[in-house]
């Protein structure tokens, strides 16, 4: 037990800290693990993925897209359709995995890179009002039918200005939250020195207070070192100031910092600095044939409670 005088001194020191420092420290490390699933239609199931009971675990279904399902898909101005493997990841499977694991929630990602035939999935609203109206009604139906808990925004191509994107997505999240349709929302930007960041930064400036997690796609960088990864992480933590930024890897080995080259070393470093908002992986589909080793390793790292730092388990 600490000496009373030390506790008094610590209390006085904390009282003198600026409010923003206290808030950021309290919301630092998290035991949140997230995994995208269902985009490749390779029959991966929720039950295939190892789930550590000591983390907060989010599956993210990939994707719902506001395109039609014809052989030549075209935009539908906010009327979303299911483009994930519904046969293996449908309503009954969602209910079952959440019933079996009290720490599991299931979200839905919107947009993505492309529709199934390779057509790029553009964000293309006719107007803010019509897009939001269509998106709210179609997503309420999909979310309720599939017993989902949240949404993730992963548009990567745009036929709209950053301000229009911000208003459409911000109003969508606000409406779904106000009506208690979703418990949380996240965004999935990546560094492109152009459209992607400009659109998501505009959204963050206007509606960042409604966004619970930033699934930053660090694997979109060229292959990196531990030092570079930590530098990039801190840059994005600054870009999305106050946000809970997650570290990330892809299990297809295409980019970023791989586990073999030190991803988990970087995560431990960020955790020691109280910066690790969680970890997400793209994706269960590519991990299936490898036995999910990185999912296991990531969750073990997140579940480890370091007595030397603040550990936040309050996840939506």
With H, G, I as helix, E, B as strand and everything else as coil, classify residue 186.
strand
Q: Which of 35, 156, 167, 295 is catalytic?
A: 156
Yes or no: say if 73 and 28 are a contact pair by the CB < 8 Å rule.
no
> Following DSSP, what letter does each residue of 126-154 receive, concatenated?
S-HHHHHHHHHHHHHHHHHHTT--EEEEE
With H, G, I as helix, E, B as strand and everything else as coil, classify residue 117.
coil
156 is catalytic: yes
Yes or no: say if 311 and 27 are a contact pair by the CB < 8 Å rule.
no
- Tell me the angle at which helices 263-272 and 293-303 cross, rounded to the nearest 10 degrees: 10
Give the separation between CA 115 and CA 138, rounded to whole angstroms: 18
User: Of the candidates 222, 210, 180, 212, which has an alpha carbon nearest to the alpha carbon of residue 278?
Assistant: 212
Q: Give the list of residues 6+ apart from residue 182 with CB closer than 8 angstroms, or none.
A: 143, 148, 149, 150, 151, 173, 176
Beta strands 247-250 and 279-282 are parallel
* Residues involved in catalysis: 156
């Amino acid at each position: 037990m600490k000496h009373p005088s030390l506790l008094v001194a610590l209390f006085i020191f904390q009282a003198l800290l600026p409010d923003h420092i206290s808030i950021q420290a309290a919301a630092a490390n998290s035991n949140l693990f997230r995994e995208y699933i269902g985009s490749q239609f390779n029959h991966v199931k929720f039950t295939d993925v190892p789930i550590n009971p000591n983390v907060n675990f989010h599956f993210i279904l990939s994707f719902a897209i506001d395109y039609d399902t014809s052989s030549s898909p075209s935009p539908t101005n906010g009327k979303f359709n299911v483009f994930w493997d519904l046969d293996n990841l449908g309503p009954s499977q969602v209910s079952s995995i959440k019933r079996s694991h009290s720490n599991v929630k299931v979200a839905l990602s919107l947009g993505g890179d492309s529709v199934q035939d390779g057509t790029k999935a553009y964000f293309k609203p006719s107007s803010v009002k019509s897009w939001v109206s269509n998106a709210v009604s179609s997503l309420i139906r999909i979310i309720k039918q599939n017993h989902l808990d949240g949404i993730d925004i992963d548009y990567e191509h745009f036929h709209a200005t950053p301000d229009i994107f911000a208003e459409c997505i911000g109003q969508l999240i606000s409406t779904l939250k106000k009506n208690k349709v979703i418990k949380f929302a996240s965004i999935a930007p990546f560094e492109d020195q152009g459209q992607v960041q400009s659109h998501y930064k505009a959204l963050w400036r206007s509606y960042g207070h409604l966004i619970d997690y930033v699934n930053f796609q660090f694997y979109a960088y060229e292959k990196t070192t531990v030092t570079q990864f930590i530098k990039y992480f801190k840059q994005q933590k600054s870009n999305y100031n106050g946000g809970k930024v997650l570290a990330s890897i892809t299990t297809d080995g295409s980019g970023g910092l791989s586990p073999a080259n030190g991803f988990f070393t970087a995560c431990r470093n960020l955790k020691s600095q109280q910066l690790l908002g969680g970890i997400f992986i793209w994706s269960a589909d590519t991990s299936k044939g490898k036995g999910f080793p990185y999912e296991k390793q990531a969750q073990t790292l997140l579940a480890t409670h370091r007595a030397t730092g603040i550990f936040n388990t309050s996840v939506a």
